[in-house]
Amino acid sequence: ERGGSNSFTHEALTLKYKLDNQFELVFVVGFQKILTLTYVDKLIDDVHKEFRDKYRNEFQQKGTLGLLNGTFDFKDDFMRLLRDAEESSKVRAPTVMKTFEQSLKSQKTVKCMIETRGEKPKEKVKNKKNKGSKKEGTEAVAAPGKASAGDKQPSAAGEKEELTKDEILQKNREEFFKRHMKAGEKSSKSPKPEAQKEKGKKPRVWDLGNSNAKVLDYSNSATNGSAEACPVEEFDPDTALGDRNREPGRLYDLEYESDDEAEEEKVVQNPSKPSVKKGGLGGMFGMLKGLVGSKSLTREDMDPVLEKMKDHLIAKNVAAEIAVQLCESVAKKLEGKVMGTFTTVTSTVKQALQEALVQILQPQRRVDVLRDVMDAQRHRRPYVVTFCGVNGVGKSTNLAKISFWLIENGFSVLIAACDTFRAGAVEQLRTHTRRLNALHPPENHGGRTMVQLYEKGYGKDAAGIAMEAISYARNQGFDVVLVDTAGRMQDNAPLMTALAKLIAVNAPDLVLFVGEALVGNEAVDQLVKFNKALADHSMAQTPRLIDGIVLTKFDTIDDKVGAAISMTYITSKPIVFVGTGQTYCDLRSLNAKAVVAALMKA
């Protein structure tokens, strides 16, 4: 699925490879990274062509078993191709910059390069004499004011020859300002429409809102932000929980209802070939020719299909750069392969693309939070999770959802309010803490408070608050610490430095990047720059980067799920959680096949 890039760097070595899908061969060339070898691409192409042509018959007759047992003497041929490639790179001398004498500029004289502003060629002036005298008067640039064109035209022409360049420039400016002043006076005299009388703004009454303003008035509240003094909120648990029939503590897979109607696949014809007249026999023959797997796939056959696939992926919010790389990797994977009987180019390409997308969404390392929390419990320490991301993506809201999920699995949670910048950030977490404690009161857990907020107000050092919160959680026996950080744009260097410091100092077990599913190309930029900032500003020799992704607002995008592909392709990190709504239960785990089904839907 990542075949778009044909090179790989490991320590001091660089490897380049080329695939031959027809005979299932891989050609690899390795060389020192510090060397700039211009002939590597030519060498691997020549070796591929010569090796394939030399042993083509053996490949076709013996099959795979014969290839494994056979011996291929290619050393002499390789050395000859290597010498040819090296010689070809030496033949081409580097381009030498032209001297001044060789350039076109040296052939011009100084006189022809001097331009006088306001001066007009004499031929143009002669041609304009035949036009009306009024137009001639306005065309005269050197004329100081408005006068009859017949009297002023000769004198203006005479003055133009005597005036210096600065005087001509000054007169041009005066003429320009006079014209604009008169145009402004004309426009000011035009009648203005009478301004309509502004109507008073009427308050809007919402259908589901509370009409009693006293209920919403908190101006005389004496609580002063203290968590202990705040009254317990009365709210409907069904509103906060959503589905009551769910299994407590279970993280359901993301679902997608795909249409059962089979799509009719059209045989893609090569647009470069002339169109054949469709008769009864000819149309049937053409259809069979397109279906039967009689020849291997070429790039020309796949290009029209891949172009449509690329546009389809971009329309589904996949970043444009990644859509191009995906189609390129599919082309390299299929080029030279023989199509199966009664299969179309479209279906073959579509199947290969689906397989590549599923592979991308199923990374090698799977994050199992519950298993890692239990492992931290055995070592008598809290499991620390840090949330980071840009502004407004839903970090605090999804932190509360993950808290609820952990509480339902029997783990106690300490929320560290390290967003000391945004107004209302601490109050938002305090409200979530009160509601979570109302849903899971201490009496249901043996008198143990399942969730607590650790906050130090605003304007403080976030890294210091996180360190104190982790120490407090260790002393008080909390199982998990969830660190909420301030939203920051990926281009803001001071804030990115502060985030790298927080992660480097506190060494969390899991760093989650919170991104919304609404973005397309922006997802790539955010993740690349967040990872780069964490690497650049960390003091450690092996810096901590993003470990996983929380994809939010998934319920707002219908089938435009391309952000999931963009984020996992860039980082090769798994999507750990998916936010699908506004209640505490609206948290899902990623189902790769469901996402790919939505992505491939027409």
452-469 pLDDT per residue, tens: 999 998 988 899 999 999
Q: What angle do CA 411, 401, 248 make, to 5 degrees?
A: 60
Q: What is the pLDDT of residue 139?
A: 44
Instruction: Note the pLDDT tens digit of each residue in 161-193.
Output: 456 777 787 888 788 777 767 655 554 554 544
Query: Strand, helix or coil at 519?
Result: coil
**Cα separation values, 310 from 315, 600, 602, Å:** 9, 11, 13
Closest by CA position to 543, among listed 560, 561, 530: 530
pLDDT greater than 60 at residue 480: yes
Q: Provide the whole-model pTM.
A: 0.61
Could you tell me the strand order of the sheet in which 510-516 lies? 451-454, 413-418, 480-485, 383-388, 510-516, 548-552, 575-579, 587-588
- Of 13-17, 181-185, 262-266, 452-456, the poorest mean pLDDT is in 262-266
Most confident region among 21-25, 462-466, 572-576 by mean pLDDT: 462-466
By DSSP bridging, strand 383-388 and strand 510-516 are parallel
Contact 451, 386 (CB under 8 A): no
- Structure letter (DSSP) for residue 170: H
pLDDT greater than 50 at residue 128: no
Task: Give percent of the chain with pLDDT exceeding 70.
Answer: 69
Query: Angle between the 562-571 and 299-315 helix axes, to the nearest 10 degrees?
Result: 110
- Whole-angstrom distance between the N-terminal and C-terminal Cα of the chain? 22
Q: Is 518 buried (19+), middle (13-18) or exposed (0-12) by CB count in 10 A? A: middle
Dist. CA 347–CA 336, nearest whole Å: 16
Q: Average pLDDT, stretch 47-52?
A: 86
Q: Average pLDDT, stretch 430-458?
A: 90
Query: Strand, helix or coil at 288?
Result: helix
Instruction: Note the pLDDT tens digit of each residue in 184-228.
Output: 555 455 454 444 545 566 666 665 555 555 554 444 443 333 334
- Of 19-28, 143-152, 339-348, 460-469, the poorest mean pLDDT is in 143-152
Contact 373, 383 (CB under 8 A): yes
pLDDT greater than 90 at residue 429: yes
| Residue type, position 343, single letter | T
Q: Average pLDDT, stretch 238-260?
A: 64
Query: What contacts 120, CB < 8 A, 6 or more positions away?
Result: 141
Dist. CA 333–CA 312, nearest whole Å: 20
Tell me which residue has tokens 């290969």.
352
Of 131 and 548, more confident: 548
Q: What is the pLDDT of residue 600?
A: 87
Contact 547, 511 (CB under 8 A): yes
Q: Secondary structure of the chain: what % helix, strand, coil (to 5)?
A: 50, 10, 40
